[in-house]
């Protein structure tokens, strides 16, 4: 039976939020609805991040897969026109199957230019909502207004890259994921309008979701160039769904010489019971998400861009190429993260997950007084 304009399959379900069909969102062209996932085997030899986005007001959907191995970073991009079947999440050879909401999902990439995968995600701890994230240009227009939930989990399945197969087993393969929706810059660039006043001088960002044996830690922080913290959302998550706020962490970071890529870091905070906790972070393998991943400042491909129906491509980057190296400080780096939790009265615990960090532009507490200074 043909669909009538303005009535969609999702309207069968009691999930409406406003007086409009469920597939119609607000007037902001930059409205998006996206998933992000990562996976690693704790060795520091391979790191995979991937995601899928829908952009209702641009009429597009897309997905990406980005893999770092050694000094090579490989990207797959997929794009297509938007359709009304939102319960069947797919873009070309890429699809996500929600098996048990908030608990189990399946990620499949049919063979595309030598790469394929079939992996099942299982949450190790409950997904939790994060604080609403808002950024404004010049103190006025919201350039980012988004909501997310986050979760840590394990993976099982296979990855094949140019004939080499990786067996993904949940005893070693861990990862984190988030779902976010709202408005952020997507697609082709808009006219700038009046320059922001004050201008954007930079931002400092830290996102650390880690799975330990008995609990998960999810930390998300953002600071202005002078160190003013404008986002502070830190929790410990227990298997039964209890959460504990972890206060206001003090952060120290050591960077790889000549870069802004983190090598190790330290978080110090106080639990609600008053215990002084220290968490040591270590990066085992960095992956620049704006080099082939489509995130802010990616010069090759950006989320929401229209490239035509049924479009896909593969790109490979030499991460020692000076032209690529020069791009890295202008975006975020996702790292295979190893963490050690030290709490008085308890044995130290080692955990694994995502160590995402970036200093773009000025951040005076870190010693970066302009856009081009790197760590000594």
Query: β-strands 216-223, 202-211: how paired?
Result: antiparallel
Alpha-carbon dihedral angle through residues 318, 321, 325, 326, given to the nearest 10 degrees: -130
In a domain, 1, yes or no: no
Provide the pLDDT for residue 27. Answer: 81
DSSP bridge pairs for 9: none
In a domain, 15, yes or no: no
Could you tell me the two tokens for 252? 């120290």
* Residue of 24, 37, 14, 1 whose CA lies nearest to 209: 37
In a domain, 2, yes or no: no
Provide the pLDDT for residue 1. Answer: 52
Helix, coil or strand: residue 328 = helix
Does 139 have pLDDT greater than 80? no
Helix, coil or strand: residue 275 = coil
DSSP E strands in 138-248: the ranges are 141-161, 164-168, 174-183, 202-211, 216-223, 229-237, 243-245
For tokens 């099982």, the residue is 156
Does 256 have pLDDT greater than 60? yes
Domain coverage including residue 48: 32-366
In a domain, 68, yes or no: yes
In a domain, 237, yes or no: yes
Q: Per-residue confidence at 3, pLDDT binned at 50, 70, 90? A: low
In a domain, 195, yes or no: yes
Helix, coil or strand: residue 364 = helix
Regarding predicted confidence, which is higher, 4 or 307?
A: 307
125 secondary structure, DSSP code: S
Q: Per-residue confidence at 8, pLDDT binned at 50, 70, 90? A: confident
Averaged over 194-221, what is the pLDDT?
A: 92
Q: For 59-71, how does the pLDDT look when each residue is reduced to its tens digit (9 = 90+)?
A: 999 999 999 999 9
Q: Per-residue confidence at 307, pLDDT binned at 50, 70, 90? A: very high
| 33, 181 Cβ separation under 8 angstroms | yes
Residue 270's CB is within 10 A of a number of other CB atoms, namely 15
Spatial distance between the Cα atoms of 239 and 148, rounded to a whole number of angstroms:
20
Could you tell me the two tokens for 19? 């007086």
Q: In whole angstroms, what separates CA 321 from the centre of its chain?
A: 25
Regarding predicted confidence, which is higher, 135 or 184?
A: 184
In a domain, 376, yes or no: no
Averaged over 239-267, what is the pLDDT?
A: 96
Provide the pLDDT for residue 177. Answer: 97
Q: Which helix (H) or strand (E) holds 98?
A: strand 94-100
323 secondary structure, DSSP code: H
DSSP bridge pairs for 236: 217, 244
Regarding predicted confidence, which is higher, 289 or 297?
A: 289
15 secondary structure, DSSP code: -
Helix %, strand %, coil % of the chain (to 5)? 5, 55, 45
Regarding predicted confidence, which is higher, 141 or 124?
A: 124
Q: For 155-191, how does the pLDDT look when each residue is reduced to its tens digit (9 = 90+)?
A: 999 999 999 999 999 999 999 999 999 999 898 888 7
In a domain, 27, yes or no: no
325 — phi, psi (to 5°)? -55, -40
Number of domains in the chain: 1
Q: What is the CATH number of the domain that holds 80?
A: 2.40.370.10
Q: Is the dihedral of CA 7, 9, 11, 15 positive or negative?
A: negative
Could you tell me the two tokens for 24? 């119609």
């Amino acid at each position: 039976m043909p669909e009538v304009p303005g009535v969609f399959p999702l309207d069968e379900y009691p999930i409406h939020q406003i007086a409009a069909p469920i597939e119609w969102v607000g007037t902001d062209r930059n409205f998006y609805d996206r998933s992000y996932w990562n996976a690693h085997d704790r060795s520091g030899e391979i790191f995979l991040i991937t995601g899928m986005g829908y952009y209702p007001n641009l009429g597009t959907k897309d997905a990406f897969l980005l893999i770092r191995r050694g000094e090579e970073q490989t990207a797959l991009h997929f794009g297509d026109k938007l359709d009304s079947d939102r319960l069947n999440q797919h873009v070309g050879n890429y699809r996500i199957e929600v098996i048990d909401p908030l608990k189990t999902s399946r990620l499949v990439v049919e063979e595309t230019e030598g790469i394929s995968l079939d992996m099942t995600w299982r949450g190790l701890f409950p997904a939790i909502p994060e604080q609403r994230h808002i950024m404004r240009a010049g103190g006025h227009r919201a350039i980012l207004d988004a909501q997310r939930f986050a979760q840590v989990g394990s993976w099982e399945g296979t990855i094949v890259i140019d004939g080499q197969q990786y067996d993904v087993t949940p005893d070693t393969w861990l990862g984190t994921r988030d779902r976010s929706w709202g408005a952020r810059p997507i697609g082709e660039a808009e006219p700038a309008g009046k320059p922001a006043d004050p201008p954007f001088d930079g931002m400092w960002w830290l996102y650390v979701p880690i799975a330990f044996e008995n609990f998960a830690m999810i930390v998300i922080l953002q600071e202005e160039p002078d160190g003013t913290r404008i986002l502070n959302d830190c929790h410990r998550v227990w298997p039964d769904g209890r959460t504990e706020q972890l206060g206001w962490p003090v952060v120290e970071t050591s960077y790889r010489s000549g870069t802004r890529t983190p090598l190790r870091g330290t978080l110090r905070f106080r639990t609600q019971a008053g215990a002084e906790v220290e968490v040591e972070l270590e990066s085992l393998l960095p992956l620049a998400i704006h080099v082939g991943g489509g995130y802010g400042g990616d010069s090759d491909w950006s989320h929401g861009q229209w490239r035509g129906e049924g479009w896909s491509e593969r790109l490979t980057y030499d991460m020692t190429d000076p032209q690529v190296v020069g791009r890295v400080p202008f975006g975020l780096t996702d790292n295979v993260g190893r963490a050690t939790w030290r709490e008085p009265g308890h044995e130290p615990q080692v955990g694994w997950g995502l160590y995402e960090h970036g200093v773009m532009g000025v951040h005076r507490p870190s010693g970066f007084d302009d856009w081009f200074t790197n760590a000594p």
